[in-house]
């Protein structure tokens, strides 16, 4: 089971859209895919018709279980969606109170690691949609994932949220561990605007080692897809947005090169 987190400490940059679209493409390929909504706003849950203020079971259950010292029960939290191979662990409003409730209590940062361990036989891929704030939820997502996807809107001041995110990452980076692999994804790219062109160039310039070489274009289909409650690939399989995310997925799924191979290439 592979676990990817989608994060940026800025709202409206395409985090939820990236999680839904990539998950839809993975599910279409036949991979058993799980989306995890870790944003108390619950926009990912709402996307699939689960209202965060009406849910009895959400990932909040896991935090409660750990706080009460009882076993984590993932079953009641997992919901199927209208999409084959695609399941969801929804958020609920209660998540917004977590930081106040358990802020610095020991073990709180590893709740999602434990919860996902319970489902590791059931899914091939897990995509975690993160909140835009640094807190218990973000810490949990970063601890649980093996790859971090960072959508960045190609606009003026795009780098501000990203810099904050990278600083957060440094702060929470566990001692002695390998740095978390990360991919910067330029989103909402409009090649007709100066702001997009400049922002993309600045990102490539500042983060050549992390940036994905292409962009996700502006595509109004994403709005229609969220209204329909389906990944865009199921609504408009040939749209520009889907083509771009398919290319991104191909990049994310490429076989990781080993250090030995990289060294051989360099010499």
Ligand X SMILES: Nc1ncnc2c1ncn2[C@@H]1O[C@H](COP(=O)(O)OP(=O)(O)O)[C@@H](O)[C@H]1O
Contacts with ligand X by CB under 6 A lie at: 11-17, 43, 187-188, 216, 218-219, 222-223, 226, 241
Partner from ligand X, Mg ion, none contacting 239, C-beta within 5 to 8 A by type: none
Q: How far is the CB of 66 from ligand X (least distance, A)?
A: 26
Compute the least distance from the CB of residue 154 to ligand X, in Å.
10
Q: What is the dihedral of CA 141, 143, 145, 151, to 10 degrees?
A: 50
Stretch that binds Mg ion, among 39-47, 170-178, 221-229, 232-240 (CB under 5 A): 39-47
Taking contact as CB under 5 A, which single stretch among the options 10-18, 56-64, 137-145, 240-248 is the one that binds Mg ion?
10-18
Residue 44 burial (C-beta neighbours within 10 Å; 0-12, 13-18, 19+): buried
In whole angstroms, give the CA distance from residue 77 to residue 61.
Answer: 8
10 binds Mg ion (CB under 5 A): no
SS3 of residue 98 by DSSP: helix
Report, in Å, the least distance between residue 68 CB and ligand X: 31
Nearest to Mg ion of 43, 57 (CB atom):
43
Shortest Å, Cβ 236 to Mg ion: 21
Between 32 and 219, name the residue whose CB sits nearer to Mg ion: 219
Contact stretch for Mg ion (CB under 5 A) within 37-45, 58-66, 141-149, 227-235: 37-45
Q: How far apart are CA 168 and CA 142, in angstroms?
A: 10
Binding of Mg ion by 43 (CB under 5 A): yes
Nearer to ligand X, 16 or 87 (CB): 16
Question: How many whole angstroms separate alpha carbon 9 and alpha carbon 144?
Answer: 18
Dihedral sign (CA 46, 25, 140, 118): positive
- Which region, judged by CB under 5 A, interacts with Mg ion, from 9-17, 101-109, 117-125, 238-246? 9-17
Q: Which does 14 bind (CB under 5 to 8 A by kind): Mg ion, ligand X, none?
A: ligand X
Question: How many residues belong to the site for Mg ion (CB under 5 A)?
Answer: 3
What angle, 0 to 180 degrees and rounded to 10, lies between the N-to-C axes of helices 221-228 and 15-28?
A: 70
Could you tell me the end-to-end alpha-carbon distance of the chain, in angstroms, rounded to an integer? 34
Residue 188 near which of ligand X, Mg ion, none (CB within 5-8 Å, type-dependent): ligand X
Shortest gap between Cβ of 245 and ligand X (angstroms)? Answer: 9
In the complex with Mg ion, which residue's Cβ is closer, 11 or 221?
A: 11
Distances (CA, A) of 176 to 180, 198, 214, 222: 12, 37, 32, 40
Residues whose CB falls within 8 Å of the CB of residue 12, separated by 6 or more in sequence, listed in order: 153
x/- site string to Mg ion, residues 14 to 33, per CB under 5 A? Answer: -xx-----------------
> In the numeric block, which tokens belong to residue 62?
């896991």
Element (H, E) at 172: helix 158-172
Interacting residues with Mg ion (CB under 5 A) = 15-16, 43
């Amino acid at each position: 089971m592979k676990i990817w987190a989608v994060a940026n400490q800025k709202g409206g940059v395409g985090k939820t859209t990236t999680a839904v679209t990539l998950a839809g493409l993975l599910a279409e390929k036949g991979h058993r895919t799980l989306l995890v909504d870790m944003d108390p706003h619950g926009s990912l849950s709402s996307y699939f018709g689960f209202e965060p203020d009406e849910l009895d079971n959400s990932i909040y259950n896991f935090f409660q279980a750990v706080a009460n010292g009882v076993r984590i029960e993932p079953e009641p939290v997992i919901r199927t969606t209208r999409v084959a191979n695609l399941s969801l662990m929804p958020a609920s409003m209660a998540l917004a109170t977590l930081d106040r409730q358990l802020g610095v209590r020991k073990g709180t940062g590893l709740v999602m690691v434990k919860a996902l361990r319970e489902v590791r036989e059931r899914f091939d891929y897990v995509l975690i949609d993160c909140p835009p704030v640094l807190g218990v939820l973000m810490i949990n997502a970063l601890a649980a994932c093996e790859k971090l996807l960072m959508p960045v809107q190609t606009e003026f001041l795009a780098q501000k949220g990203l810099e904050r995110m990278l600083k957060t990452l440094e702060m929470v980076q566990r001692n002695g561990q390998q740095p978390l692999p990360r991919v910067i994804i330029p989103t909402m790219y409009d090649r007709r605007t100066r702001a997009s062109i400049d922002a993309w160039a600045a990102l490539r310039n500042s983060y050549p080692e992390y940036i994905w070489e292409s962009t996700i274009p502006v595509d109004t289909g994403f709005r229609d897809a969220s209204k329909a409650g389906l990944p865009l690939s199921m609504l408009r399989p040939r749209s520009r947005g889907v083509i771009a995310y398919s290319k991104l997925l191909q990049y994310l799924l490429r076989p990781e090169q080993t250090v030995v191979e990289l060294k051989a290439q360099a010499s």
